[in-house]
Amino acid sequence: MYVVVDTSSIVFALQHGKDPFAAAERRLHRKSLVSRGIIRELSGMARNRGKRGAIARTALSLIRVKKVKVNNNNETVDSWVYRIAATHKNYAAVTNDTDLFRRIRPVNQNVFKLSKSGILKR
């Protein structure tokens, strides 16, 4: 069982000085999972100078250091997160993208948002 962590949650948590993977794993007792698409999004953001670029570089480092499992696929990030949440009921999803959250909620009750304090909320 895994926790699928979306780009929006990773960036949001790091903006507020929290570790998005630790929060998900601590609350749900599951390993984190990201997709190749999330890595691509973060890599694109990491090229920028400034805060968002620094956050993206930190996120990429965290993924490497924490040895987060990376799913190799060619889907868009939102499509992948939705598909995984819809087909694997024992997986949880963490996203701060309100539209994606609303799409996942009817098919999987294990969907969460990260708060500023780093707590997962339904």
Q: What is the CATH number of the domain that holds 58?
A: 3.40.50.1010
Q: What's the confidence (pLDDT) of residue 24?
A: 84
Radius of gyration of the chain (CA): 13
Q: What's the confidence (pLDDT) of residue 99?
A: 96
Q: What's the confidence (pLDDT) of residue 52?
A: 95
Q: What's the confidence (pLDDT) of residue 39?
A: 97
Q: What's the confidence (pLDDT) of residue 74?
A: 85
In terms of DSSP H, where are the helices of 66-97?
77-87
Q: Does the pTM exceed 0.85? A: yes
For the chain, what is the domain count? 1
Q: What's the confidence (pLDDT) of residue 16?
A: 94
Q: What's the confidence (pLDDT) of residue 27?
A: 85
User: In sequence order, which residues have a C-beta less than 8 Å from that of residue 1 and are 6 or more positions away?
Assistant: 30, 31, 90, 91, 92
> Rounded to 5 degrees, what are φ and ψ at 67?
55, 50
The boundaries of the domain holding residue 78 are 2-121
Q: What's the confidence (pLDDT) of residue 1?
A: 86
Q: What's the confidence (pLDDT) of residue 32?
A: 95
> Rounded to 5 degrees, what are φ and ψ at 43?
-65, -40
Give the residue ranges of the chain where pLDDT is below 50: none
Helix (H) / strand (E) containing 112? strand 111-114
Q: Do the beta carbons of residue 108 and residue 84 sit within 8 Å?
A: no
